Amino acid sequence: IAGNGDDKTHDGAPASGHAQFSMQALLTTIGIARDEVVNLAAPSAHGREKLVSEALRPAATTDRWQAQRDDQAFGPATDRALASVGMIEAANPEEEALAIAITLREALDTPGKTVALVTPDRALARRVVAALERWDVAVDDSGGDPLPDTQAGRFARLAAEASLGDLKPVTLLALLKHPLLRLGAAAGAHNGAIAALERSVLRGPRPKPGSEGLGHALATFRANRDNMHRSDPRWLIERGELDAAASLIEQLKGALAPLESLKAGDHKLATLAECHRDVVANLGRDADGAVDAFAGNDGTVLADALDKIIESPSAQSLSASRGDYVELFHAAIGDRVVRRPETRDVRVHIYGPLEARLQSADLLVLGGLNEATWPPETRSDPWLSRPMRRDLGLDPPERRIGLSAHDFAQSLGAPEIVLTRAAKLAGAPTVTSRFVQRIAALAGKERWGTVLARGNRVLELTRALDQPATVKAAERPSPTPPVAARPSRLSVTAIEDWLRDPYTVYAKYILRLYPLDAVDTPPGARDRGTVIHGAIGDFTVQFAGGLPADPQRQLLALGEKRFAPLGDFPEATAFWWPRFQRIAQWFVGWDRARRDGIATLHGEIKGEVKFPVGQREFTLSAIADRIEWRKDGSYAIIDYKTGAARTEKQVRTGLAPQLTLEGAILREGGFKGLRPGSISEITYVTLKGGDPAGEPKEINFKEGTPDIQADHALARLKELATTFENAATPYLSLVHPMWSNHYGDYDHLARVKEWSLGGGGDEGGE
């Protein structure tokens, strides 16, 4: 309070943003002059008071800095003041937190030394606490956490969002997997049921709204489960797991009923809060009847907050809609702070700037020294102008800057000081706190460079902490499972994977890993292909012997059955059904035109061929969409595609061997009921519903006939199977250059982006 050493500095009242504004106001109020203030203790050994006082001069008097520099005593005094000060300028908040943690941990090597972090940035404080956990350092963090950021606060918000938001899959899964969920059982008792519910109905297209829609979706899944392809990961869900999932839905329905059953429209805020409290209690009650969501420090504060809202006269008179309640609740608890249990007998503390005034430590770290954090951002009052605030006796907006400056000046009195800031926040550059800039400007470039050097030493330790000794590029994975584990039976569609990306065969057929759909995704290309391809296939099988009187009506009827599971998604049906109608009209005309040359027609026909490979027998299987035995004695193999058809080059070079291998099975007599014969046509029929709605794309080989290409495909398969029958042959990832950028569902497991960018694999292969 003694000022900056000259009366000119304090002539009149200092600006509200000055560090001594509040102290000067106090002296004025009690009628004491500055020179009447008596120092209660001798100046500190480091003599930092003079430097800080000069640095925080009012802007109008900073012209006296030059006079201070000209003083012969300024240099030695400044050197002594900065001798125990370091400045850490980290690249980002994460690096800043780790650097602070290293500083605190290093200081603990000195017996009895106390250290503390002072920061108004609670996010930084939490990062530092987390970073110190790697060394098991106990921390007394007295700052506390906002109630919405605690476990109990998040659980309560998720309960309201799920109940009032029609059980959206992402929100519902976050609620079900929250550590406070109990539903009348011990922690983790429902994990199996939650996993089964997620895999069966929450991944992929969203179920109908609410718990009723969730139950309907599970019932539909159970009814269709037996018709699923064995490669579908959902088929692997056990019936007992589905029973547990059904039971979980019933329990969830009862727990959410107080909020979920509220009718649309406005309700008293107190009523909504009371129902919300009941839902949280239902979800968090364990087998003994205790509500874990209302236990602990955060649970107690949450229960008190809900009770206060319910009992509030304004909440009993104010009405709100169901959709607005979640945000109202979040705003109501936003200013509540949950204090952490006091940790005694520790040497590491974290304080806020205000409480740090009454504490002391041997080493003080001042963190978050950026503009808008320390000092905080000045906010203008939208209702009261500055003159109006002055006339009413209210503080000006800059008062917070003055208080922040005072906190900063007070903290610099510790024996050792480390200042820290992050150069970027969320990728955007930050501005160094004006307080630090003033000290750096007063000290001069050379002296401040010494301060930065001390901080750079810590930064070097920070960056070296998690830096590996050597960096080696990832190599292309080359698993070599034993022969007994290698597949001895594959379908013609899997051979395409085997040729392009053997790692897919390894992951899918040896490790038996199946990709899961993302949570809450709208019906996509795969679902469209399933329903359209299924309806065309049903029509081909049902009317293989001859067309009905009204084939288009029959095909549309079969399509309605296939589209039935999409009834929960009217937007998908509205978009795809008109396309299917166009496909049906086109397909009937195309099919009728081909019937005259067909002796017999076979749809969805199964076939296989076996051949010896090493000590085992390999089986190639297929389900052909359509095989026509023509009146001239030859065969036509046709495949329905709702996506892009394969090109002649891809088929001829063996990159797309599905139809040529089906031809090989046919020539070997592998399709039951069909005698071996010559193949005169291989055709893809694309069914997209656009313009045109469908299009046949016959493969006219530039070299050889379909028979020759079929024999060649089988011979190449035998060579491939023989190669992989060797235990030393690895299942490499993306062996063909054409697919080196992206191909399968298992690229992330094969770490394709790592080894392809790092040169961990060549571009050779078949």
The model's pLDDT over 57-73, given as tens digits with 9 standing for 90+, comes to 888 888 888 888 888 88
* pLDDT of 3 above 70: no
What is the edge-to-edge ordering of all strands in the sheet holding 363-366?
A: 85-90, 416-422, 363-366, 115-118, 348-351, 140-141
Please give the helix or strand (H or E) that residue 348 lies within, else none: strand 348-351
How much is the pLDDT for 391? Answer: 80
Contact between 658 and 495 under an 8 Å Cβ cutoff? The reply is yes
Burial class (CB in 10 A: 0-12, 13-18, 19+), 287: exposed
How much is the pLDDT for 39? Answer: 81
pLDDT in tens, 202-240: 998 888 899 999 999 999 889 888 777 676 788 888 999
Strand positions, DSSP E, 661-720: 679-687, 694-698
How much is the pLDDT for 611? Answer: 97
pLDDT in tens, 526-557: 888 889 999 999 999 999 999 999 999 999 99
Residue 139 DSSP one-character state: -
How much is the pLDDT for 765? Answer: 40
Mean pLDDT within 565-591: 90
pLDDT in tens, 604-622: 999 999 999 999 999 999 9
**What's the Cα-to-Cα distance from 354 to each of 120, 351, 435, rounded to whole Å?**
9, 8, 17
How much is the pLDDT for 194? Answer: 97
Length of the chain: 766
As a whole-number percent, the residues of the chain with pLDDT over 90 amount to 70
* pLDDT of 134 above 80: yes
* pLDDT of 96 above 70: yes
pLDDT in tens, 464-498: 999 888 888 888 999 999 999 999 999 999 999 99
Which among 210, 290, 189, 305 is positioned nearest to 256, based on CA atoms?
210
pLDDT in tens, 653-663: 988 999 999 99
Mean pLDDT within 119-140: 94
How much is the pLDDT for 5? Answer: 44
